[in-house]
């Protein structure tokens, strides 16, 4: 092991040593590259531009890396990373890992601040571009052979979010576990923008993740900020802490990919026009369970389903407080009403289990809207409290099974298609 206490000593050690320990805070040096097989641990490294470039079989442990928020604190430069390990790392600036092959292991990473708004490279899908994350693992090649285990990843802080997305996994990569702590983001997107989003924790097209667990809260502050989202393939996704969005057209959880089981064990709360609690827009989701979903804002739908969802369980309530407004849907701003549960044409909820109630407080809205199908409704109350609002509205070929077994407060309306 080679111990260093100055920038000059570190630069000298990088040329020959394989195991380097930093004592104290080092600054005034250019970006550094770790040779293959090099381990670097300890200390604080402060850079004026980019920070550390990793090659292959590198280890970083107990290191703080500080760069300007718009720069990359830790990045990669090799197609084959071998075995790359980050353990107990703190950064100011992005962590950007772009493997073609190799295994990435992260065990404890906090990105205290980062600004990704200027990144030109963004994946595109479903009518929108998605901003990169403070932590980004993105296989941008066509190679299949990169794997990862990602635990203890956090980004931003309450009132001090990272700018852009938070935790972002994309491209052909196999991840056995993605586990996050607190994540706070603000994409800084102009309200009304139709083709740009950011996400708190986002799994993007091409990725396969066996298990996602959100141990900490995920909070977004800006327009078009999705707290949780899946464009790829995930086995199970569990959120154990509150999910909160504060901007217009935010979403608590949006599903375009394939997911076997979603379990949100804490409240989902959205604030802002057109901000929705839960959307199933594409792909396949076998079952979803929520503790509670609450939206505040015009056009803010609680649950919106346009595909087949065999089972949806709500332990407590789905409530909305707004009326009509605009909302971003598939890259287009469209009019929406603050419906508690909306099953759109082509959508189906096989079994909808509600422990508490479905309730709307706004005027001229609908609590349960079925243009598609609800196969079986179990438990709960359906209530419309606003002026001119319907508790249940069934349109066209839509249907709701078991409605006669549920307490309904408000009009029930059947609209035939002309």
| Residues facing 329 on adjacent strands | 332
Q: How confident is the model at residue 201, as a pLDDT?
A: 98
Q: In which band, very low, low, confident or very high, does the pLDDT at 142 lie, cut at 50, 70 and 90?
A: confident
Q: In which band, very low, low, confident or very high, does the pLDDT at 371 lie, cut at 50, 70 and 90?
A: very high
Q: How confident is the model at residue 326, as a pLDDT?
A: 66
Q: How confident is the model at residue 78, as a pLDDT?
A: 84
Pairwise CA distance, residues 395 & 255, whole Å: 24
Kindly report, residue by residue over 24-41, the tens digit of the pLDDT. 999 999 999 999 999 999
Q: How confident is the model at residue 156, as a pLDDT?
A: 98
Cβ atoms 325, 290 nearer than 8 A: no
Q: How confident is the model at residue 415, as a pLDDT?
A: 82
Cβ atoms 272, 298 nearer than 8 A: no
Asked if pLDDT for residue 388 goes beyond 70, the answer is yes
Q: In which band, very low, low, confident or very high, does the pLDDT at 145 lie, cut at 50, 70 and 90?
A: confident
Neighbours of 94 (CB within 10 A): 30
Pairwise CA distance, residues 307 & 289, whole Å: 16
Q: How confident is the model at residue 418, as a pLDDT?
A: 45
Kindly report, residue by residue over 277-299, the tens digit of the pLDDT. 999 988 999 999 999 999 999 99
Q: How confident is the model at residue 139, as a pLDDT?
A: 94
Kindly report, residue by residue over 225-280, the tens digit of the pLDDT. 999 999 999 999 999 999 999 999 999 999 999 999 999 999 999 999 999 999 99
The pLDDT of 140-151, averaged and rounded, is 89
Kindly report, residue by residue over 311-344, the tens digit of the pLDDT. 999 999 999 999 887 676 766 677 778 999 999 9
Q: How confident is the model at residue 63, as a pLDDT?
A: 98
Question: Cβ contacts of residue 418 below 8 Å, gap of 6+?
Answer: none
Please give the residue that has the higher pLDDT: either 78 or 162. 162
Q: How confident is the model at residue 330, as a pLDDT?
A: 61
Q: How confident is the model at residue 251, as a pLDDT?
A: 95
Mean pLDDT for the chain overall:
94
Please give the residue that has the higher pLDDT: either 192 or 331. 192
Pairwise CA distance, residues 320 & 302, whole Å: 6
Kindly report, residue by residue over 149-185, the tens digit of the pLDDT. 999 999 999 999 999 999 999 999 999 999 999 999 9
Question: Cβ contacts of residue 264 below 8 Å, gap of 6+?
Answer: 238, 239, 243, 252, 253, 288, 289, 290, 291
Please give the residue that has the higher pLDDT: either 127 or 134. 134
Pairwise CA distance, residues 398 & 376, whole Å: 13
Question: Cβ contacts of residue 271 below 8 Å, gap of 6+?
Answer: 244, 245, 246, 247, 250, 296, 297
């Amino acid at each position: 092991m080679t111990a260093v206490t100055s920038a000059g000593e570190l630069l000298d050690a990088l040329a020959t040593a394989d195991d380097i320990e930093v004592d104290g805070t080092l600054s005034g040096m250019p970006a550094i590259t770790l040779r293959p097989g090099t381990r670097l641990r300890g200390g604080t490294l402060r850079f004026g531009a980019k920070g550390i470039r990793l090659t292959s079989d590198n280890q970083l442990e107990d290191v703080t890396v500080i760069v300007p928020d718009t720069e990359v604190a830790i990045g990669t430069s090799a197609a084959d990373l071998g075995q790359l390990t980050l353990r107990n790392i703190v950064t100011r600036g992005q962590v950007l890992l772009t493997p073609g092959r190799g295994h990435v292991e992260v065990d404890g990473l906090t990105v205290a601040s980062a600004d990704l708004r200027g990144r030109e490279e963004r994946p595109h899908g479903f009518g929108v571009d998605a901003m990169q994350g403070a932590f980004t693992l993105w296989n941008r090649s066509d190679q299949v052979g990169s794997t990862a285990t990602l635990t203890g990843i956090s980004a931003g802080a309450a009132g001090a979010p990272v700018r852009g997305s938070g935790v972002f996994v994309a491209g052909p990569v196999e991840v056995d576990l993605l586990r996050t702590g607190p994540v706070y983001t603000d994409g800084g997107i102009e309200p009304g923008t139709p083709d740009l989003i950011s996400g708190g924790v986002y799994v993007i097209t091409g990725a396969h993740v066996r298990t996602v667990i959100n141990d900490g809260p995920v909070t977004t502050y800006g327009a078009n900020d999705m707290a949780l989202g899946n464009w790829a393939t995930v086995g199970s996704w569990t959120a154990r802490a509150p999910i909160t969005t504060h901007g217009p057209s935010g979403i608590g959880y949006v599903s375009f990919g394939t997911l076997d089981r979603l379990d949100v064990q804490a409240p989902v709360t959205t604030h802002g026009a057109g901000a929705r609690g839960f959307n199933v827009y594409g792909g396949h989701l076998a079952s979803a369970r929520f503790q509670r979903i609450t939206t505040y804002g015009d056009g803010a739908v609680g649950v919106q389903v346009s595909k087949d969802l065999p089972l949806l369980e709500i332990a407590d309530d789905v409530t909305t407080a707004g009326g009509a407004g605009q909302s971003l849907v598939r890259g287009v701003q469209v009019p929406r009403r603050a419906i508690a549960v909306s099953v759109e044409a082509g959508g189906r909820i096989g079994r909808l289990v509600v422990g508490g109630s479905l309730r709307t407080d706004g005027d001229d809205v609908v609590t349960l809207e079925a243009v598609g199908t609800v196969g079986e409704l179990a438990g709960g109350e359906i209530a419309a409290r606003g002026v001119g609002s319907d508790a249940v509205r069934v349109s066209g070929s839509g249907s709701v099974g078991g409605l006669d077994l549920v307490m309904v407060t408000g009009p029930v309306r059947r609209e035939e298609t002309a």
